[in-house]
Amino acid sequence: MAPRLETLSAREREVMAFVVAGHTSKEIARRLGISPLTVRKHRENLMRKLEVATTARLVALVGPRAGACG
């Protein structure tokens, strides 16, 4: 699992932290000052890189390791 986390970009890690904290794509977009479509693309990319198909699996996989966010 650790090597796959290393493949994520800084922005993908940031988005992942918000997703794991339960934020929607629209909320994440507002907080980061980017488009919701861009957030969705980052989510798609990070889930592909981590080889997970659902947000629930992502949360189970990375949980508290995703980092804190507001």
Task: Give the type of residue at 30.
Answer: R
The encoded tokens of residue 8 equal 């994520």
Q: Is the pLDDT assigned to residue 70 strictly greater than 90? A: no
* CB-CB contact of 26 with 13 (8 Å): no
64 or 26: which leads in pLDDT: 26
Q: Is the pLDDT assigned to residue 57 strictly greater than 60? A: yes
Q: Is the pLDDT assigned to residue 3 strictly greater than 80? A: no
* CB-CB contact of 41 with 27 (8 Å): no
- Please classify residue 12 by burial: count the beta carbons closer than 10 Å to its beta carbon, then call 0-12 exposed, 13-18 middle and 19+ buried: buried
Give SS3 for 54: coil
The model's pTM is 0.84
Q: Is the pLDDT assigned to residue 2 strictly greater than 60? A: no
34 or 2: which leads in pLDDT: 34
